Amino acid sequence: MLNDPSTISSVARLIGETLQEDYGIDPAPVFRESRIDPVKFQTPGSRVPFSKMSMLWSLATEASQDPAFGLKVGSRVKPGDFYVLGHAWLASETLHDAFQRLSRFIQVLSTARSSLDIRVQGDVVALVETYTDLDVQPQPAAMDAGFAALVRMCDLVTATPVRPRHVVLPRWVDGRGVDYPAALGCPVEFGDLEVWEFAKADVETTLAGSIPEVASAVDAIADTYLSSLAEGAVTHEVREMLIQMMPSGRSDQETVARRLYRSRSTLQRQLGCRGDELPADTRVDPPVAGRTVPAVKRLFAGRGRVHAGVHRPEQLRPRLQTLDRHDPRRVSQSGLNFQQLTSQHLYSIFCR
For the entire predicted model, the pTM comes to 0.68
Predicted confidence at residue 247, as pLDDT, reads 63
* Chain centroid to CA 207: 27
Predicted confidence at residue 284, as pLDDT, reads 32
Q: How far apart (Å, rounded) are the C-alpha atoms in residues 147 and 145?
A: 5
Domain segments of the chain as ranges: 69-214, 232-351
List the one residue out of 245, 243, 249 whose CA is nearest residue 313: 249
Residue 37 to residues 3, 150, 323, Cα–Cα distance (Å): 20, 27, 40
DSSP result, 115-127: EEEEEEETTEEEE
| pLDDT per residue as tens, the chain (352 positions) | 345 688 999 999 999 999 999 999 999 999 999 999 999 898 888 899 999 999 999 999 999 999 999 999 999 999 999 999 999 999 999 999 999 999 999 989 988 766 889 999 999 999 998 876 666 788 999 999 999 999 999 999 999 999 999 999 999 899 999 999 999 999 999 998 899 999 999 999 999 989 999 999 999 998 888 877 764 456 656 766 776 776 665 567 777 777 777 777 777 776 765 332 223 332 333 333 334 343 343 333 333 333 333 333 344 344 434 433 334 344 334 444 444 444 444 545 555 4
Q: Residue 126 contacts by C-beta under 8 Å, 6 or more apart in sequence? A: 118, 119, 120, 195, 196, 197, 198
Q: How far apart (Å, rounded) are the C-alpha atoms in residues 7 and 22?
A: 23
Q: What do you get for the CA distance between the two ends of the chain, in Å?
A: 28
Predicted confidence at residue 83, as pLDDT, reads 92
Percent helix, strand and coil across the chain, each to the nearest 5: 55, 10, 30
Predicted confidence at residue 273, as pLDDT, reads 52
Q: How far apart (Å, rounded) are the C-alpha atoms in residues 114 and 107?
A: 9
Q: Residue 32 contacts by C-beta under 8 Å, 6 or more apart in sequence? A: none
Predicted confidence at residue 274, as pLDDT, reads 36
| Sign of the torsion formed by the C-alpha atoms of 69, 72, 78 and 84 | positive
Residue type, 182: A
Burial (CB count within 10 angstroms: exposed 0-12, middle 13-18, buried 19+), residue 61: buried
Phi, psi for 14 (deg, rounded to 5)? -60, -35
